[in-house]
Amino acid sequence: MVFDRAIDIAGIDLTLVRVDDGSFTHLLYDGEGGATLLDPMTLRVVLNPMEENHGPGVHLQVIGGAGIVSAGEEPQPWGGESYLELPYP
């Protein structure tokens, strides 16, 4: 994920990062495979398959921002995403 500002992932909850793939693998994934900041604004999340999913399309869901906050002296929580269609332009 690429953000418009530097982020802090010290409090991230990877169980709240999910990808619903109803088109290709027909699986629901969470992010418990791990997360890495590639640079201050780019987060890579390794997906972990959880269960079958037969809904339409592929969507990213980050519930409540999953503990991702802006970096800096006054961190602001990120609001998250609710069923963002993938691939995102």
pLDDT over threshold 90, residue 10: yes
Gap between the Cα atoms of 26 and 58, Å rounded: 9
Residue 2 lies in a domain: no
Overall number of domains in the chain:
1
Is the residue at 1 inside a domain?
A: no
Condensed to tens digits (0 to 9), the pLDDT of residues 17-57 reads 999 999 999 999 999 999 999 999 999 999 999 999 988 99
- Nearest-angstrom CA–CA distance, 9 and 15: 13
What pLDDT is attached to residue 54? Answer: 86
| pTM strictly above 0.85 | yes
CB 70 within 8 A of CB 79: no
Tell whether 34 is covered by a domain. Answer: yes
Domain of residue 61 covers 7-85
| List of residues 6+ apart from 84 with CB closer than 8 A | 59, 60, 61
C-alpha 6/C-alpha 49 separation (Å) is 28
